[in-house]
Chains A and B, each alone.
Chain A
Amino acid sequence: MRAVSPNQTLQTTALINEAYLRLVDADVPWRDRAHFYAVCAQAMRRILVDGARARGSVKRGGGRVHVQLEEWLATTPERDRDLLALDDALADLAAAEPRKSRVVELRYFGGLSVEETAEVLKVSPQTVMRDWNAAKLWLLRALDRRTGQEAKEGP
């Protein structure tokens, strides 16, 4: 089974369905659909996070990671920081509640629907929704702690 490298054309600007269809047409010998989706989501996450990290390290003269993102897409330093913080928080969540972390990875980085995520993780859609909501709250709390702020008060 071919491993997915960043050089596989998983274009970040294309919706994952389009990328998927291209792979399907190229007769990639995926046999396990769940594995395929999980790998795609992980690859997306890695590409985006590596890109954010590389942009942050350029200033410090760090070695440049070959970033597959279209070079002309500029992100703001704030967005990069947010993404890296989310990635860290997600890693922490994986240690405590691995399935919740996978739900976030599949949905946020993989763009999967609730039903598709349920299929991949082999649980019911209701379980996915519960995990999703709980994970969101967990991550919000973790991110708030990180930035040392309380939840913003309303207007």
Chain B
Amino acid sequence: MTPEGDGRVESLCLEALARRVDERVAFLDEACAGDPELRRRVEVLLARAGGFLETPAWEAAPPLKVGARLGAYEIEGEIGSGGMGEVYRARDTRLERTVAIKVLPRAFGGDPERRARFEREAKTIAGLNHPHICTLHDIGDHEGTVFLVMELLAGETLAEHLRKGPLPLEQALTVATHIAEALAAAHRQGIIHRDLKPANVMLTKAGAKLLDFGLAKLKRHGAQPEGADAPSAPTLSATLTGERTIVGTLQYMAPEQLEGRPVDARTDIFAFGAVLHEMLTGRKAFDGQSHASLMSAILTAHPPAISSVEPASPPALDHVVQRCLAKDPEDRWQNAGDLVIELKWIAAAGAEPAAAVRSRKAARVLQAAVAVLALALVASLAVNWMSRRMSPAPPRPVQFTVVPPAPYVLSTLDVPALSPDGTKLAFTARPPDGPSALFERELDSLEVREIAGTSGASSPFWSPDGERLGFFSNRKLKTVTLSGASPATLADGYCCGTWGRDGVILFTGSGPSVRDRRTFRISSEGGLAAEVGHLDASRSERLHQWPVLLPDGRHFLYFSRSGRPDVQGIYEASLSSGETKRVMSAASHVVFVPPGYLLFRLQGRLMVQAYDWRQSRVTGEPIQVAEMVAGADQTAYNAATFAAAPDALAYIPGTATPSTLTWLDRRGTRLGSVGDPGEYYSPQLSPDERTLAVGRYDLATDSRDIWLFDLTRGGAPSRFTFDPADDMNPAWSPDGTRIAFTSARSGQRDIYEKTVGGPGEERLLLSSGTDKHVEYASPDGRMLLFNVIPESGRQEIWALPLVSGGKPFALLRGPADTQSSPLSPDGKFIAYHSSESGRYEIFIQALASGRRWPISIGGGMTPQWRPDGRELFYIAGSRLMAVDITMAGGRVEAGVPHALFEAPFWRGGRNVFVPSRDGRRFLAILQPEQTASRSITVELNWMSRLKQ
């Protein structure tokens, strides 16, 4: 090719690279029309350039050499290079034993969340401890390299062995039984292999051993949604050389894996069937020249019966294999344990066809017996592969606490849920700078498990069989199994679900207006959501929330919020007739416990009262069950943080030792506190720094108000707002004469303003059907910023011009929640935090150009400007960070963020600290010293208290 030709290839390649991937084909079609040779050269260069230098220099991990040390392990040699990384033989220098070490891809070192999740998985796998599962001894981390320490196995893989031909019947049955036993053990613990194939089966003197359990899950990279079990997509898309690589990975995949549908234990059983077929016949169950034909075979073709290929093989085995390879998981063996029984029967009955017929019949009888037993034990379980113990725990003493695993902290504004049989607890927790997730704990075990695929979850609720959870995330109603499998998004929803026996789910709907918060029903399998009942505006009903289905599945309870005290409270309604009847007055939701009790929070205390749901009336007197139960955010949630079921009670104790307003200097030395301890939110200093406006929650009235502290004179604070509904988020006007704030007094959160000093005139600034939260005033006093959650479900920042007739407009719309957004002192830039990367990070954006600059690294929240604009402060975890800022010509130059000090900052609200004008002191809301993270108190046998 000529130099000119080279240049053309390069410039075309450059132009192609400048286009989006999906546009490149069209571009090349046009640019290389009529010159296929040119096109080919451009494509070759594109392929080379695409990956060139994309992985940073140090990440392309060079292999380990002999004598290298990974902590206590010394590398002795290389065993092979698996699909997941290099495998070495190594010596554990402490225990003087030889092990196998598998080094994992570099990506694992960097992401703490992924690492944590992986370690939790590994712990469960390590606990499997089964003779036919390769034991996982340890996970290690040496200077960022994550590695697994496993049992060193001597022998060859089944794949290697099969290259020589099929196995003799007896050996095949033995190996198959071992594998099935391993699967059964793992499935019982909720672990699915997902990548069962001959290369993952080692044939050792002690029998077959399964390798790489659960690791196939880790092949997912970034873009895969959690919980979704796509087939090893990276392997498919990162096409390397030749079809063989791709085909090799697909061979044993089940139809649901290929289609990207959720997988469960039966997926492993399909793979098992394919492996068994190959062991017996020496041929692959499904094959094809290209991956397309292979996929088509898996989806539609049926492998020949074993006995037609190997006449000596018993017909019973045909049935076993065929049932494993059923296309629909429902038609397969549902349970590896059943498979084990069947295989053992076939082996015991000998290899003769006659005996096989007998054994097949006997096996069927046994199977039926097992099935009947299973049904009896397991009742209405739909999928019984997760056969957990269903009998309730033996009675145990009283109380214990449940905490989420570090670094997660209980979501303070969310409500936990107990399974209907009272054996399992679900709750949400979040890490310091990230979205929440769902956790589950069986009450008779100590392990708290995170449920995959539940990022951003709130308001969990159980299915009647206790195998699935419904929850809400990003304003959507979702369901998931406890293992994170079968995730499903059902509808738009705000919160508060209840799941009935016939697959009916009731929930509180969501929409742009708070009036959309009423009850809807939907089938747990999906479909359209239908409205149930409606708000009665003539009786000032603002919203319905917290539906609870009653035992007949046709009636339910709900909470109605109304401006009228005689209307607000708990109602019972009929799904069929739509009739409703008021049961009692209430400030927040109720929980129903069969046979007939209501639990609710009254002035901070958890109470129980007998309730006859058939007659829709309470009887007797309420009895106190627990003191000081925390209340979740009043108007938005109308809930208290407790859950109840027959004989189990779970609640988050109310704050006995609330927070303090404390002054600190730049080194974190405490200089003194302001006022008494209490529950404070969203402080802001007046422009002259003489007065502090802060939100405070009062347990006695169960509401929030704004208080003012005179900082020059000290003394008790004075109340600023008096309405019984929540008033919060104070924002000073730049001239210090007025404070804008959020108030829920008319049902939804609106924006008001009140003059400071004197009688204080209040006026409504903005009212609309959507909840709005005041953020900050602009430095020139002409606009007030506030945040809203529109239909998209992602929080946005809006601005309200403070002139008569001013119409609010959207200021900041991000790909994720955007909050906590003070304007810079010159009014030209806005700082905010956004969770678009999966973790809250700080950005500064220029209002005029929309250009933005990332400021924080490793997370950050609630930014505050120093009043002269030269520094920006924010919180990262428990550290107060400071960044030097220079703004010139519409551009921001940020220095490197550095930590000033660490302190136990309170969490929640618009902001938890304010800087003084000179940036030398900070007034912060701090948790009291001795407070560990919040915990859930669980009480068993609470109902014995009722028999008095």
Question: Residues of A contacting B56 with CB < 8 Å?
Answer: 16, 107-111
How far, in angstroms, from A89 to B671 measured CA to CA in the complex?
58
Interchain CB contact under 8 A, A27 and B48: no
Question: Residues of B contacting A79 with CB < 8 Å?
Answer: 60, 62
Interchain CB contact under 8 A, B110 and A17: yes
Contact with B along A83-104 (1 / 0, CB 8 A): 1000000000000000000001
Interchain CB contact under 8 A, A140 and B895: no
Interchain CB contact under 8 A, A13 and B144: yes
Interchain CB contact under 8 A, A154 and B44: yes
Interchain CB contact under 8 A, B899 and A24: yes
Chain B's interface size range is 35 or more
A3 at the interface (CB under 8 A from B): no
B312 at the interface (CB under 8 A from A): no
> What's the least CB distance linking A70 to chain B, in Å?
6
Contact with A along B890-917 (1 / 0, CB 8 A): 0101111111000000000000000000
Interchain CB contact under 8 A, A151 and B110: no
Question: Residues of B contacting A130 with CB < 8 Å?
Answer: 18
Question: Residues of B contacting A133 with CB < 8 Å?
Answer: 14, 17-18, 49
Question: Residues of B contacting A146 with CB < 8 Å?
Answer: none
Closest to A143 in B: B52
Interchain CB contact under 8 A, A17 and B857: yes
> What's the least CB distance linking B145 to chain A, in Å?
6
B64 at the interface (CB under 8 A from A): yes
Question: Residues of B contacting A13 with CB < 8 Å?
Answer: 58, 109, 143-145
Interchain CB contact under 8 A, A72 and B64: yes
Interchain CB contact under 8 A, A32 and B895: yes
Interchain CB contact under 8 A, B10 and A141: yes
B932 at the interface (CB under 8 A from A): no
B853 at the interface (CB under 8 A from A): yes
Interchain CB contact under 8 A, A36 and B896: yes
> What's the least CB distance linking B614 to chain A, in Å?
61
Closest to B879 in A: A25
Interchain CB contact under 8 A, A154 and B43: yes
How far, in angstroms, from A32 to B53 measured CA to CA in the complex?
27
Interchain CB contact under 8 A, A24 and B897: yes
Question: Residues of A contacting B896 with CB < 8 Å?
Answer: 24, 30-33, 36
How far, in angstroms, from A14 to B63 measured CA to CA in the complex?
16
A76 at the interface (CB under 8 A from B): yes
B372 at the interface (CB under 8 A from A): no
Instruction: Give the interface centre of B18, B57, B854 by most chain A CB atoms within 10 Å.
Output: B57
Interchain CB contact under 8 A, A31 and B895: yes
B328 at the interface (CB under 8 A from A): no
Closest to B67 in A: A72
B241 at the interface (CB under 8 A from A): yes
Residues of B24-73 at the interface with A, using a CB-CB cut-off of 8 Å, are 40-41, 43-45, 47-49, 52-53, 56-60, 62-65, 67-69
Question: Residues of A contacting B145 with CB < 8 Å?
Answer: 13
Question: Residues of B contacting A110 with CB < 8 Å?
Answer: 56
> Of B6, B49, B65, B858, which contacts A17 at CB under 8 A?
B858
How far, in angstroms, from A44 to B898 measured CA to CA in the complex?
22
> Of A76, A150, A153, A154, which contacts B62 at CB under 8 A?
A76
Interchain CB contact under 8 A, B144 and A14: yes
Interchain CB contact under 8 A, B57 and A140: no
> What's the least CB distance linking A53 to chain B, in Å?
14
B13 at the interface (CB under 8 A from A): yes
How far, in angstroms, from A107 to B59 measured CA to CA in the complex?
12
Closest to B854 in A: A115
B884 at the interface (CB under 8 A from A): yes
> What's the least CB distance linking B894 to chain A, in Å?
6
Question: Residues of A contacting B110 with CB < 8 Å?
Answer: 15, 17-18
Contact with B along A52-71 (1 / 0, CB 8 A): 00000000000000000010
Interchain CB contact under 8 A, A27 and B14: no
- Number of A residues near B (Cβ < 8 Å) is 55
Q: Tell whether A74 pairs with B48 under 8 Å between CB atoms, given A13-B109, A17-B857, A48-B58.
A: no
Question: Residues of A contacting B854 with CB < 8 Å?
Answer: 115-116, 119
B397 at the interface (CB under 8 A from A): no
Question: Residues of B contacting A115 with CB < 8 Å?
Answer: 854
Question: Residues of B contacting A30 with CB < 8 Å?
Answer: 895-896, 898
Closest to B9 in A: A151
How far, in angstroms, from A75 to B18 measured CA to CA in the complex?
34
> What's the least CB distance linking A50 to chain B, in Å?
13
Question: Residues of B contacting A104 with CB < 8 Å?
Answer: 53
Q: Tell whether A155 pairs with B241 under 8 Å between CB atoms, given A108-B57, A109-B56.
A: yes
Q: Tell whether A21 pairs with B144 under 8 Å between CB atoms, given A72-B65, A74-B62.
A: no
> Of A45, A137, A150, which contacts B57 at CB under 8 A?
A45
A129 at the interface (CB under 8 A from B): yes
Interchain CB contact under 8 A, B899 and A108: no
How far, in angstroms, from A16 to B896 measured CA to CA in the complex?
14
Instruction: Give the interface centre of A15, A21, A44, A115 by most chain B CB atoms within 10 Å.
Output: A15
B714 at the interface (CB under 8 A from A): no
> What's the least CB distance linking A145 to chain B, in Å?
11
Interchain CB contact under 8 A, B69 and A44: no
Closest to A134 in B: B14
A152 at the interface (CB under 8 A from B): yes
B620 at the interface (CB under 8 A from A): no
How far, in angstroms, from A31 to B43 measured CA to CA in the complex?
45
> What's the least CB distance linking B269 to chain A, in Å?
37
Question: Residues of A contacting B69 with CB < 8 Å?
Answer: 72
Q: Tell whether A109 pairs with B43 under 8 Å between CB atoms, given A24-B897, A134-B14.
A: no
Interchain CB contact under 8 A, A136 and B52: yes
Interchain CB contact under 8 A, A140 and B52: yes
Interchain CB contact under 8 A, B14 and A137: yes
> Of A32, A34, A137, which contacts B45 at CB under 8 A?
A137
Q: Tell whether A18 pairs with B144 under 8 Å between CB atoms, given A79-B62, A83-B57.
A: yes
Closest to A141 in B: B10
B83 at the interface (CB under 8 A from A): no
B527 at the interface (CB under 8 A from A): no
How far, in angstroms, from A24 to B895 measured CA to CA in the complex?
11
Contact with B along A102-126 (1 / 0, CB 8 A): 0010011111000110010010000
| Cross-chain pairs A/B with CB under 8 angstroms, 10 sampled | A12-B58, A14-B143, A21-B858, A25-B899, A36-B896, A72-B69, A73-B68, A108-B53, A110-B56, A137-B49
- Lowest 7 A-B CB distances belong to which pairs? A72-B68, A74-B65, A111-B56, A75-B62, A133-B17, A13-B144, A12-B58
Interface residues of B (CB under 8 A from A): 1, 6, 10, 13-14, 17-18, 40-41, 43-45, 47-49, 52-53, 56-60, 62-65, 67-69, 75, 109-110, 143-145, 241-242, 853-854, 857-858, 884, 891, 893-899
Beyond contacts A44-B58, A140-B49: 5 other A-B pairs, Cβ-Cβ < 8 A, are A16-B56, A24-B899, A72-B67, A133-B49, A154-B43
